[in-house]
Structure 1
Amino acid sequence: MNPVLAEILHLLDVEKIEENLFRGHNAPNSHHVFGGQVLAQAIASAYRTIESGRMLHSLHAYFLRPGDWNLPVLYDVDRIRDGRSFTTRRVVAIQHGRAIFNLSSSWQVAEDGLEHAVSMPDVAGPENLVSDRERYAQIAKKHPEVKRFAFRFDAIDSRQVEGLLLTEAAPHPPYKHTWMRAAERLPDDPEVHLCLLAYMSDMDFMSTSLLPHGRRPGPGNGIQGASLDHALWFHRPFRADEWLLFAKESPSSSGARGFVRGTFFDREGRLVASTMQECLIRPRD
């Protein structure tokens, strides 16, 4: 397995240190605690307190404080409810004795019921698209600062339908479509696929709200950007090592906040997950 993907999977494999208390580590060479990583580690912590046969169907999370990449993150799981059909867990991520993140999640036994779903957008497939790994490798020759986030594309095979990158500065309507999958075959463990999709759901998501303004997130670009909250709903089974279309749009931005929402479809066109996020996009000009 390639070392970047192996490292991410290692980070998502939280360590149990006491009943309902887990520890997650940060990438040793990163000066940033990625929100998708904290989200995925919190899911992994809750997962390990859930009765077998129940699957995560929804979560709602808030990013409360910036993380400190020099320290591990503690995840305190509150077993709020274990019902006959549904299980509820709350997870608080802690550093320096303070909460930096909290998550509420609901898990359900498998049930049959009524079904419908919207259709997958009619966009080009991934086979003939240039990977983000290749694109950012070229950009990094002149702008090495992109390596701060672009290393993740060694682990996640990501391909933009519209060709819009995080470095894009020209205005564009507030939508984009990205094909994503793990760069290599993953273990069959459902926890791995659940956590990795959560990780991917925070990649290049906030930037959708900046597209109509021709702005970019990050230092030196005049925008203070940060995730404020994140929600995910899991509708149908999926594998994170098979192609998923992440369709993203931003219906609104106001009050220095951007609102983005997205849907994941598998290669057969089935809607497998939905996500929403509000983010800070504060102009610093």
Structure 2
Amino acid sequence: MGSPVDRLVDLLDLEQIEVNIFRGRSPEESLQRVFGGQVAGQALIAAGRTVDRERPVHSLHAYFLRPGTPGVPIVYQVDRIRDGRSFTTRRVLGVQQGKTIFALTADFHLPEESPFEHQVAMPDVPAPESVPSALEEVGSVLGELPPFISRRQPFDLRYVERLRWTEDEVKELEPRSAVWLRTNGTLPDDPLIHTCAVTYASDMTLLDSVRVPVEPLWGKRNFDMASLDHAMWFHRPFRADEWLLYQQESPIAVGGRGLAHGQIFDRSGQLVVSVMQEGLFRRIG
């Protein structure tokens, strides 16, 4: 079966079945729906396979339209919207069992010199070597890992602040969270693989910032949640197998929906990716 990172790379290695049509695996899981980060990562791979490699992706905007069924392949249909002198645009539909479950628009940009540059500063947080692995911490407390944890195994995730385990501990917390992350092994050098690996990972913890003041992130859940849409902007090159800081916060939660904003920095403090996501939250029971 290989390592979790090998399985992630294999998951992103789509089968091309026509010029603009690709098929991706969907792992058999006991969970009720396919992981959104998987679908987004595979759709971006499909789009990238139709674009010249000298044009890296600079943004994506996606909608999760229906829950996907685990274990059933997903077909990705790429529409070549535009091939301009500097920008290339692709639209991708993810189809499963005859129904569209996902829609993505991705834009690719030929790198050019910038007339000016600025960015926000990376937060001052503990180094990843000084905080425990989330999987080790959760396993030591719960004794066993939740079923969805298999989706996180390709990554070493380390929460900057200690995990809380009771509702009393989270009542006074601000709606924000931060994690260090990198793959649990070396990835191929293809920049598209690194971009799609971070796209996959970006959906794992972003909605944590919405939940932080309401319930512990691990253990029994009071709310079911699902991603509604997802947007990313890729500012600079990076490697997903090197430490990245994912700073996340939620400016608002209302009407059953929570909005979250994320910033991903590399170890040197450069802002490499910005993320926005809205999730649906419904009380269980």
TM norm. shorter chain > 0.5: yes
Distance 2:111 2:252 in 1: 35
- 1:14–1:104 CA distance, 2 compared to 1 (3 A): same
Deviation at 1:224, TM superposition (A): 2.2
What per-residue deviation string (whole Å, max 9, x for no partner) do you get for residues 175-234 of structure 1?
A: 11100001111111111101101011011211210112236599x633121000000000
Cα distance in 1 between the residues matched to 2:112 and 2:271: 17
Is this contact kept in 1: 2:25–2:71, CA < 8 A? no
Partner of 1:65: 66
Q: What is the aligned partner in structure 1 of residue 48 from structure 2? A: 47
User: What's the secondary structure of 1:203's corresponding residue?
Assistant: helix
Match of 2:210, SS state, is helix
List runs of 5+ in structure 1 lacking aligned partners: none
- Aligned residue-pair number: 280
| Equivalent position of 2:232 in the other structure | 232
- Structure 2 residues without counterparts, runs of 5 or longer: none
Matched, 1:136 2:135: no
1:278 partner SS: strand
Identity in percent? 46
C-alpha separation in 1, matches of 2:100 and 2:129: 43
Q: Are the structure 2 counterparts of residues 282 and 217 from structure 1 closer, same or farther at C-alpha, using a change threshold of 3 Å?
A: farther
Q: Give CA-to-partner distance per residue, 1:47-92, whole Å, 9 cap, x none.
A: 0000231010011000000001131000000000000000000000
Displacement over 6 Å in runs of 4+: none
CA distance in 1, matches of 2:135, 2:197: 18
Cα RMSD (Å)? 1.9
1:159 aligns with 2:158: yes
Q: Is the 8 A contact 1:43 1:195 kept in 2?
A: yes
Q: For the residues of structure 1 that align with 2:71 and 2:28, how far apart are their CA atoms?
A: 8
DSSP-derived class of the 1:199 partner: helix
TM-score, scaled to structure 1: 0.93
Contact 2:215-2:221 at 8 Å conserved across structures: no
* Aligned counterpart, 1:254: 254
Written as runs of structure 1 = structure 2, the 5 A alignment for 1:1-285 is 3-29=3-29, 31=31, 32-113=33-114, 114-141=116-143, 144=144, 146-164=145-163, 169=167, 170-171=170-171, 172-214=173-215, 221-284=221-284
Counterpart AA for 2:108: W
The answer to which of 24-33 and 222-231 deviates more is: 24-33
